[in-house]
């Protein structure tokens, strides 16, 4: 299986369990790795035969900017299901970064990474 990666998609969302997170929002960063067979697209040099990563990126940002959820686990699942709706995408790895998580000690980032497939 081939891989198409999108790294560092940024969007502002209002996800979290605390009222301040829901009210003020924060930046979320998403990394994606789409698993698909790119041979048909490469053979015909045809965008229609692969995942259009520009459209995928727009849809993922819309999920992050959309309906708030409590957990980044839920957000990652919604993003994965959005990616799997694209014909040809057999598998997706989603990493959601929450660099401004409400943690009281110094830290660089909080992430969750999930892998989902059509199977």
CA angle 77–47–32, rounded 5-degree value: 25
| C-alpha 83 chain-centroid distance | 8
* Residue corresponding to tokens 């502002």: 12
Edge-to-edge strands of the sheet including 26-36? Answer: 2-13, 26-36, 91-97, 111-117
Domains of the chain by start residue, with CATH: 1-115 (3.30.1130.10)
User: What does the pLDDT look like over 47-60, one tens digit per residue?
Assistant: 999 999 999 999 99
- Looking only at the bridges linking them, the beta strands covering 26-36 and 111-117 are unpaired
* Residue corresponding to tokens 């969007």: 11
Q: Is the pTM of this model over 0.85?
A: yes
Active site members: 98
- Supply 93's token pair: 């790895």
Overall residue count recorded for the chain in this entry: 119
Burial (CB count <10 Å: 0-12, 13-18, 19+), residue 103: exposed
What was the pLDDT predicted at 119? Answer: 75
Phi-psi region at 8: left, alpha or beta (left = phi > 0; alpha = psi -120 to 50): left
User: What does the pLDDT look like over 69-109, one tens digit per residue?
Assistant: 999 999 999 999 999 999 999 999 999 999 999 999 999 99
Q: What is the mean pLDDT of the chain?
A: 97
């Amino acid at each position: 299986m081939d891989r198409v990666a999108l790294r560092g998609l940024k969007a502002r969302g209002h996800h979290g369990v605390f009222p301040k997170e829901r009210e003020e929002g924060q930046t979320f960063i998403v990394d994606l790795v789409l698993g698909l067979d790119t041979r048909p697209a490469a053979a015909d040099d045809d965008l229609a035969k692969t995942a259009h990563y520009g459209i995928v990126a727009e849809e993922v940002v819309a999920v992050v900017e959309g309906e708030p959820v409590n957990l980044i686990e839920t957000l990652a699942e919604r993003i994965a299901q959005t990616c799997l709706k694209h014909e040809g995408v057999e598998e997706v790895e989603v990493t959601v970064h929450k660099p401004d998580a409400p943690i009281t000690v110094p830290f660089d980032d909080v992430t969750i990474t999930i892998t989902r497939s059509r199977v």
